[in-house]
C-alpha cells in the first residue's frame, strides 16, 4: 500500500507531485507489504510513510515527486471577502521548510467496494514559510496595497488529513485516485514576521503585533476561505503522482 504513502507525502507537501513525460512505477521491493484487510493495514501504511517521507525529501523525478523540503511555491493567489475586509493577496517565491520532519502518528483505512477513505494524523515540530507577498485590500473604505517579505513560523503542527478515493484499473493494473481531500492543521503557536504592510515601519510593527495576537482568528478564517484555491491544485498533483503507483504489488493477497 505504498500508493497511500506516496499520496500522503504529496498531501503533506501541499501537492509537491507532478507528472513527468514517461510513466515509471514506484518500486517498493524494500518496503513491507501490507495486509489487504483495512483494519490491519493502517499500522503498516504508517510505517511505510515514516520510511518514505524522509527518504524522498529531495524528490524523485521518475515518480513525479518534486523536492519537498524545502517545498517551493512559485506563485499562489487568494481572493478574500468577509465583512469589512475584502481584497486579493498573492504570494511568490514561497519556501516551506520542515515537511520531511513529518511523523505519521495514525492511519485509518476504510474500504467500501472500490471506494477508500483514509484518515491520517501527523505531527510536525516546526515549520517555516518564507516568501514575498503583495496584496490589494479594502478595509472599510481604506485602500491598502501592502507588499514585502514574510517569514511565518509554525510550532507543533498537528495535521489531520481526510481523503476520499476510489480504485480503478488501467493497463491490467490497479490504481488509486483521490476524489476529495480535507486538511485540518492545528497549530500550537505561530510567529508572523513581515514588512511592507504600511509605508511607516512603526505602523508595520503595530500591525504585526495585532496579527501575532490574533493569529488564531486570522488563521481560522484564512484556511477555509482559501480552500477553493489550494484543494483542486493539491488533488491534481496527488493524482498525477498516484498514476505512478500500481497498488496490487504492494498488498498481500487475502489469507
Ligand X SMILES: *[C@@H]1O[C@H](CO)[C@@H](O)[C@H](O)[C@H]1NC(C)=O
Closest CB 245 distance from ligand X, rounded Å = 35
Provide DSSP, 79-144: EEEETTEEEEEEEEEEEEE-GGG-EEEEEEEEEETTEEEEEEEEEEEEEEEEEEEEEEEEETTEEE
Nearest to 123 by CA among 105, 141, 142: 105
Nearest to 154 by CA among 96, 230, 70, 209: 96
Is the Cβ of residue 138 or residue 208 nearer to ligand X in the bound state? 208
Is the Cβ of residue 143 or residue 151 nearer to ligand X in the bound state? 151
Is the Cβ of residue 115 or residue 193 nearer to ligand X in the bound state? 193
Q: Binding mask 56-95 vs ligand X (x if CB under 6 A, - otherwise)?
A: ----------------------------------------
Specify whether the CB–CB gap between 155 and 110 falls below 8 A.
no
Residue nearest to ligand X (CB): 151
Closest CB 210 distance from ligand X, rounded Å = 17
- Report the distance separating Cα 192 and Cα 142, nearest Å: 23
**Interface with ligand X includes 191 (CB under 6 A)?**
yes
- Report the distance separating Cα 176 and Cα 169, nearest Å: 9
Is the Cβ of residue 75 or residue 95 nearer to ligand X in the bound state? 95
| Residue 214, C-alpha cell as written in the block | 490574533
By CB under 6 A, the count of residues binding ligand X is: 5
Closest CB 153 distance from ligand X, rounded Å = 4
Closest CB 93 distance from ligand X, rounded Å = 13
- Report the distance separating Cα 75 and Cα 73, nearest Å: 6
Closest CB 51 distance from ligand X, rounded Å = 29
| Residue 122, C-alpha cell as written in the block | 501527523
Pick from 115, 145, 193, 216 the residue near ligand X by CB under 6 A: 193
Closest CB 191 distance from ligand X, rounded Å = 4
Q: Which residues contact 210 (CB under 8 A, 6 or more apart)?
A: none
With H, G, I as helix, E, B as strand and everything else as coil, classify residue 78. Answer: strand
Q: Binding mask 117-146 vs ligand X (x if CB under 6 A, - otherwise)?
A: -------------x----------------
List contacts with ligand X (CB under 6 A).
130, 151, 153, 191, 193
Amino acid at each position: 500500500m505504498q500508493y497511500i504513502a506516496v499520496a500522503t507525502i504529496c498531501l503533506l507537501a501541499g501537492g509537491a507531485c507532478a507528472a513527468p513525460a514517461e510513466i515509471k512505477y514506484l518500486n517498493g521491493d524494500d518496503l513491507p507489504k501490507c495486509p489487504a484487510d483495512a483494519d490491519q493495514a493502517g499500522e503498516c501504511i504508517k510505517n511505510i510513510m515514516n520510511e518514505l517521507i524522509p527518504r524522498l525529501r529531495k524528490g524523485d523525478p521518475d515518480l513525479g515527486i518534486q523536492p519537498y523540503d524545502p517545498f517551493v511555491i512559485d506563485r499562489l493567489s487568494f481572493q478574500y471577502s468577509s465583512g469589512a475586509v475584502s481584497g486579493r493577496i498573492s504570494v511568490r517565491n514561497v519556501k516551506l521548510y520542515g515537511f520531511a520532519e513529518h511523523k505519521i502518528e495514525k492511519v485509518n483505512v476504510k474500504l467500501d467496494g472500490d471506494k477508500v477513505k483514509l484518515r491520517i494524523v501527523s505531527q510536525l515540530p516546526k515549520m517555516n514559510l518564507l516568501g514575498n507577498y503583495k496584496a490589494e485590500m479594502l478595509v472599510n473604505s481604506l485602500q491598502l496595497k501592502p507588499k514585502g517579505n514574510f517569514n511565518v513560523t509554525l510550532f507543533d503542527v498537528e495535521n489531520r488529513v481526510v481523503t476520499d478515493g476510489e480504485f480503478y484499473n488501467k493497463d491490467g493494473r490497479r490504481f488509486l485516485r483521490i476524489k476529495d481531500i480535507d486538511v485540518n492543521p492545528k497549530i500550537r503557536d505561530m510567529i508572523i514576521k513581515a514588512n511592507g504592510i504600511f509605508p511607516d515601519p512603526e505602523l508595520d510593527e503595530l500591525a504585526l503585533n495585532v496579527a501575532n495576537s490574533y493569529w488564531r482568528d486570522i488563521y481560522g478564517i484564512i484556511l477555509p476561505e482559501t480552500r477553493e484555491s489550494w484543494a483542486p491544485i493539491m488533488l491534481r498533483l496527488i493524482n498525477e503522482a498516484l498514476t505512478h503507483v500500481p497498488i496490487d504489488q504492494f498488498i498481500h493477497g487475502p489469507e
